[in-house]
């Protein structure tokens, strides 16, 4: 029996490696559900999949469907942050994940953001992913990089690693994708202001103009 022990150990290690690989593959390839009928404007703070910051009674809501590996989304994130500072509690911002298949690590990044969100650190991971986009976008394996970001922003790393494979975390990303498709989202960033889609470019100036137009419209109504 002893002479077969090394072979048994090799087989067990191989099986564990295959299982781990399968888990990572499912995380990368988690399909987005087929879109149903459009539910209209769903950017309410009480939505379970919504990540919201800003005034609860804000008269303007900016809702973005974004991809963490999308360079245009990174630029839009900077512009949105600036208008948030300008408008304070008058503006509510909602972010929803919409990872594109053309970006090799976009889904993994969305899952990482949601995993951090499980510990109340979504916006911190949101900032880390966009700030360091050039670094991780070109990596072959990104999970260790995302773990380092999680540690840096104050997450329990072991819990973060578990949440990366959590069905609930994956479901939240998929739900955002379903919602986006049901509302006609095809590219990122796609931005709605009070439920109305606005056109790019998404600069600080253009976003300010769209927000002011919405504020004026509310005054007249």
State residue 48's pLDDT score.
63
User: Within a 10 A sphere around the Cβ of 149, how many other Cβ atoms?
Assistant: 24
Q: What burial letters (b/e) apply to 19-44, b meaning 16+ CB within 10 Å? A: eeeeeeeebeebebeeeeeeeeebbe
Identify the band that residue 49 occupies on the pLDDT scale cut at 50, 70 and 90: low
Nearest Cα to 180, choosing from 164, 197, 165? 197
- Give residue 146's pLDDT band: very low, low, confident or very high (50, 70, 90): very high
For residue 219, what pLDDT is reported? 82
Strand partners, 93: 53, 62
Instruction: Give the Cα separation of 218 and 199 in Å (integer).
Output: 20
Highest-scoring range by mean pLDDT, 9-18, 53-62, 75-84 = 75-84
pLDDT > 90: percent of the chain: 74
Question: What are the percentages of helix, strand and coil residues in the chain, rounded to 5?
Answer: 55, 10, 30
pTM: predicted TM-score of the whole model, two decimal places: 0.78
**Residue 65 per-residue DSSP state:** E
Q: What's the mean pLDDT in 92-118?
A: 98
Percent above pLDDT 70 for the chain = 77
Sign of CA dihedral 59, 62, 63, 68: negative
Domains of the chain with CATH codes: 31-220 (3.40.30.10)
């Amino acid at each position: 029996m002893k002479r077969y022990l090394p072979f048994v150990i090799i087989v067990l290690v191989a099986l564990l490696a295959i299982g781990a690989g399968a888990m990572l593959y499912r995380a990368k390839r988690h399909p987005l559900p087929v879109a149903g009928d459009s539910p209209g404007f769903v950017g309410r703070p009480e939505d379970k999949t919504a990540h919201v910051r800003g005034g609860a009674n804000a008269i303007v809501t900016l809702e973005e469907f974004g991809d963490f590996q999308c360079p245009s989304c990174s630029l839009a994130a900077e512009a949105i942050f600036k208008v948030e500072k300008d408008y304070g509690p008058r503006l509510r911002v909602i972010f929803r994940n919409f990872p594109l298949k053309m970006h090799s690590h976009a889904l993994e990044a969305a899952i990482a953001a949601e995993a951090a969100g499980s510990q109340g650190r979504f916006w911190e991971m949101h900032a880390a992913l966009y700030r360091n986009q050039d670094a991780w976008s070109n990596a072959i394996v990104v999970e260790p990089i995302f773990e380092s970001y999680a540690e840096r922003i104050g997450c329990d790393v072991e819990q973060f690693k578990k949440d990366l494979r959590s069905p609930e975390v994956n479901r939240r990303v998929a739900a955002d994708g379903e919602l986006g498709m049901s509302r006609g989202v095809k590219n990122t960033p796609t931005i709605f202001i009070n439920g109305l889609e606005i056109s790019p470019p998404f600069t600080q100036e253009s976003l300010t103009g769209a927000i002011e137009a919405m504020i004026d419209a509310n005054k007249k109504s």
